[in-house]
Chain A
């Protein structure tokens, strides 16, 4: 079983499909450690497949000190208000709760929210809204800002500290919404 799982993982990785190793380890059960060892060996010497162009752009944005989630939203040509509205709908919340969702989403996009505290339903909704593994991207902690960026596409640099802060006064506390963003999976 373990060898079959390794075979499946290795073939998927080499094919550029970004397999979820934790899922494979869960399927391996008691043999998870053995599978992990085989995968570690494999990854030590495997040639990584070429990354998707979007992934490269997100990483370049991160290197420039820009929030990768913001870059992803910009690439989708979505205003924050539109995304928040969609997120609110996908979470099954009423429109009057949008301000609180907006407050938390702003913090998430700015790298001010611990990704581990965010409920799985939020990640699933964002994946649907943005068509990407947002959870993985949100885990990229801010890179230190360099005075002379090594690589830029042009345009003003939006650094984390320069983002306009969302006022919590306009978004009164809401226990249900707060739980989605602050309580963990």
Chain B
């Protein structure tokens, strides 16, 4: 479902401000490349190739209808990292006619729903509520404890339970 940020992205795309779009997603691009390449120093090069590919697609006039731009960003990240691990060059444009396609794993749902919503659907009850307060509303554990009338220690335990379950799901 498009959200307010998706609408902002659409407007930037419509006026041709690809620089502002890339500035917005750069931390995500670099972070995912570092994470997926396990900290390798090649990560920044791969991240740069992601940006160059996104710029290239934009200059080719590629627009993707109602698909949120963040979906495109994450697809290009996945595609480029895949090329890197397969030993294919990443400093080349995406193939002519490249179109985003679902990968079929939970990554699509995370991108589509947003991480917090994905978590809340999988971590039930109060633990899910606490995860949302921590990572969507950015409340400190002490603030969450006060809001939910809990002991801070219990909040920490709930966060850890939720993240532990996420860790299992991510590895599945």
CB distance from B139 to the nearest CB of A (A): 10
Which listed residue (B24, B35, B117) contacts A21, Cβ 8 A?
B35
Whether B132 is near chain A, meaning CB under 8 Å from some CB there, is no
Q: Which residues of A contact B25 (CB under 8 A)?
A: 48
Which residues of B does A touch, CB under 8 Å?
Answer: 3, 5, 15-20, 22-28, 30-32, 34-36, 38-39, 41, 44-45, 48, 51-52, 55-56, 58-59, 74, 107, 110-111, 113-118, 134-135, 138, 159-160, 163-164, 166-167, 170-171
- Per the bound structure, the CA–CA distance linking A40 and B18 in Å amounts to 24
A55 touches B23 (CB 8 A): yes
A25 touches B39 (CB 8 A): yes
Q: How many residues from A make CB contacts under 8 Å with B?
A: 52
Q: Give chain A's interface secondary structure class.
A: helix
Which residues of A does B touch, CB under 8 Å?
Answer: 2-4, 6-7, 10-11, 13-15, 18, 21-22, 25, 32-34, 36-51, 55-56, 58-64, 116, 136, 139-141, 143-144, 146, 150-151
B28 touches A39 (CB 8 A): no
Q: Which residues of B contact A47 (CB under 8 A)?
A: 3, 5, 114
Q: Which residues of A contact B116 (CB under 8 A)?
A: 45
